[in-house]
Amino acid sequence: MRRINVLAIGVLLTLGALAGTALGKEGAVSKLDALPPGGLHAGQMIPVGFTILMDGVEPYKADVAEIVVRNGTGKVLSYPATAQGAAGHYVANVYFPAAGTYTWQVTQGTFFAPYDLGTIAVLRRFRHLRETLGEARAEGFAERLIAETAAASGRTPDQVREIVARWIDRHPLPYLLGCRYPGLPELFAGLRRHGKAIGVLSDYPAAAKLAALELAADHVVTADDPEIGVLKPHPKGLAALIGRAATTPAATLMIGDRADRDGLVAQQVGARVLLRASRPIAGWQTFARFDDALFAPMLA
């Protein structure tokens, strides 16, 4: 049987907010620029761009432009916007002081009514709940995750699904190639030259992200697969991946970056594990780069 080299991949992203277009009173339209790839984070100054359009078409030069933010207690924060670039385009540096639920709107000059950007949950709630459910090894986590995130952020489950699909699944795709670790394509190529199968085990949908990274795997298993339904470190996903590759745990090498997820799941099924880390981790074999000396036999 061939040895399968299992690579755990993931992109750390936080729950962002929906960008979009809406009509205000008198036909004013405000359109948000794309938000930062990592979404909105509390405690950071975030440049937010938008364009004001009359009747949804003609750029409008407003006498006053700003973004106004209100938290759940009604406290108001105002961030003036300055004209930048094309006509009608403005940028405001917005600061959310703490994690929580906010409403925000654009002031579109003194003639047009403000544009309501809706309620946004500037939370790491989705990520935090996912971590919690992983630690609990909860089966059928997906619906519970959506329901609890919706309850915590004041959204409907369908709205949460769309936010997650947009900002975690789709929006990062154009940026992933620039974030790919050096040496990873060469390692994939070397593994194939040496007849090693490559598998991917991920807690998030992986196919589109692998394509964006310009990488290909022989087998892919994710926590969202209907027959899996559990997050790492539950061993079900890795066991399924090994089964699909028609190999054995003893012939499997798990390459990951978290001892509490990738390391533990490998230990439970009896596979070897390597962890990417900038410094040694007690009790684990680590490496810093994908062109480190320990990979030399595969890169030759």
Give the dihedral sign, CA 210/275/229/172: negative
Q: Tell me if the domain spanning 21-122 has CATH number 2.60.40.10.
A: yes
Over residues 83-110, mean pLDDT: 88
What is the pLDDT at residue 141?
Answer: 95
- Tokens for 290, please give them: 């994908």
Q: pLDDT band at 6, cuts 50/70/90? A: very low
- Tokens for 151, please give them: 């309850």
Over residues 117-132, mean pLDDT: 70
What is the pLDDT at residue 36?
Answer: 72
pLDDT in tens, 212-241: 999 999 999 999 999 999 999 999 999 999
CA 219 to chain centroid, in Å, comes to 22
Distance (Å, rounded) from C-alpha 264 to C-alpha 251? 17
Total residues belonging to the chain: 300
What is the pLDDT at residue 253?
Answer: 94
Q: pLDDT band at 37, cuts 50/70/90? A: low
String of DSSP letters for 49-69 = EEEEEETTTEE---SSEEEEE
Q: pLDDT band at 124, cuts 50/70/90? A: low
Beta strands in 187-257 (DSSP E): 197-202, 219-222, 252-256
Whole-Å CA distances, 154 to 84, 150, 157, 177, 186: 33, 6, 10, 34, 45
Q: pLDDT band at 15, cuts 50/70/90? A: very low
Instruction: Decide if pLDDT at 27 tops 70.
Output: no
- Please, which residues bridge with residue 121 across strands? 101
Q: Where are the domains of the chain?
A: 21-122
Place of tokens 């924060």: 77
8 A C-beta contact, residue 17 and residue 164: no
At 147, give phi and psi (nearest 5°): -65, -45
Over residues 140-146, mean pLDDT: 93
Percent of the chain whose predicted confidence (pLDDT) is above 70:
85
